[in-house]
Amino acid sequence: MTARPSHLARITDLLTEFPVVAILGPRQVGKTTLARQYAASRTGPVHHFDLEHPVDLRRLQDPILALEDLRGLVILDEVQRLPEVFPVLRVLADRPRRPARFLVLGSASPELLQQSSETLAGRIAFHNLAGFQPHEIDIKHVDRLWLRGGFPRSFLARNDEASARWREEFVTTFLERDLPQLGIKTPATTLRRFWSMLAHAHGQIWNASDFGRSLGKSDQSARHYLDVLAATFVVRVLQPYHTNIQKRQVKSPKVYLTDSGLLHTLLGLPTMKALRGHAKAGASFEGFALEAVVERTGARPHECFFWALHSGPELDLLIVRGDRRIGIEFKLSSDPSMTASMHAACEDLDLDRLWVVHPGKERFKLTATVEALPLRQVPETKLW
């Protein structure tokens, strides 16, 4: 098992403060492994229920009977398969002295699992788990991570061909089995086509009308498909930022596939040679680096934006926390330089600083407040 100490530390802190902690992320990203690592690091009894296992599912047919006498740590894996357990967790979380803590693992967002956010308000904390990130691996394997993505079985596959086969099977299983288990009734072929269209629009402005027209569906259907993929953590919808300036600002979101390996599967890019020679290479690196920066800095979804003017200037990522603003540009170049967009973003957004994140090894200043920063040197957690 590959250790992920920063995630273990966060889970430890959250379970100290909250009776219920949810680890959320896409299927096969390593949630179960992380839960087992946490369980192994603590003393006291541990009870593990895998809700994809028929025996465990039968044991929880009466959740209060199965859970109320347990002490220590209780792990409920793939909890989206049993949403009726959330009201029971509320009752158990409110007991005096809290004899048990609950670690629930899920492959769907709180918005899709409405009962979790409504029933457990104030009692549950959420921790999003992404795949492997550049700071978690040896520097010599960063290109492999970019090509294969962060899913452990994809990244650790014996070669690129085996990794590509795993990702193709993941896409098929995700569409044909996982989404129907969440109550998603859209045909797998339709969602596969939509997901492939998103791959070709990776890093671009979302236009529901264009997608709906291409699919022969309504704008509302296209938006629903996007919401489904975002709620299951395979797509990021990055909202636009608006500031009080007398310029026309873009008001539609951008869309990214969250895992670069899945992006390359849907684009038909099985090797690094094919990736580097493809027109989407720059956009692919942008999405790969964006996920790494969000993970490394600990930026929450409501703190992350992009900014763009209809006249051309734009900023790939804007992290807003309180009254502070950090801008991030992503450049597939080891020697990036200042651009007109960067000057405009610094002036119009009154940035505290601007990072130009690149795949090279050197860190250097471009201006007093603009710094070129290698991807692996993005600072951890605290932005200021």
Summarize pLDDT for 193-205 with one digit per residue, the tens. Answer: 999 999 999 999 9
Residue 42, C-beta contacts closer than 8 angstroms, at least 6 positions apart = 73
Residues 6+ apart with CB under 8 A from 379: 296, 297
The angle that helices 208-215 and 188-200 make with each other, rounded to 10 degrees, is 130
How far apart are the C-alpha atoms of 339 and 337, rounded to whole Å?
6
Tell me if 267 sits within 8 A of 199, measured CB to CB: yes
* 382 domain-assigned: no
115 domain residue, yes or no: yes
Q: Write out the residue range of the structural domain in which residue 265 sits.
A: 139-377
Domain presence at residue 215: yes
Q: What is the pLDDT of residues 360-378, one digit of tens each?
A: 999 999 999 999 999 988 8
Which of 102-106, 160-164, 226-230, 242-246 has the weakest average pLDDT? Answer: 242-246
**Residue 134 in domain:** no
Residue pair 39/247 in contact (Cβ under 8 Å)? The answer is: no
Task: Give the residue-averaged pLDDT of 78-85.
Answer: 88
Q: Is 80 within 8 Å of 107 (Cβ atoms)?
A: yes
The answer to whether residue 61 is domain-embedded is yes
Give the total number of structural domains in the chain: 2
Position 117 scores a pLDDT of 60
Considering the domain architecture, whether residues 107 and 151 belong to the same structural domain is answered as no
Token pair, residue 236, equals 């990021």
Q: Is residue 83 domain-shared with residue 218, that is, in the same domain?
A: no
Indicate the pTM of the whole model: 0.93
Burial class (CB in 10 A: 0-12, 13-18, 19+), 111: exposed
Same domain, 52 and 182: no
C-alpha 325/C-alpha 291 separation (Å) is 18
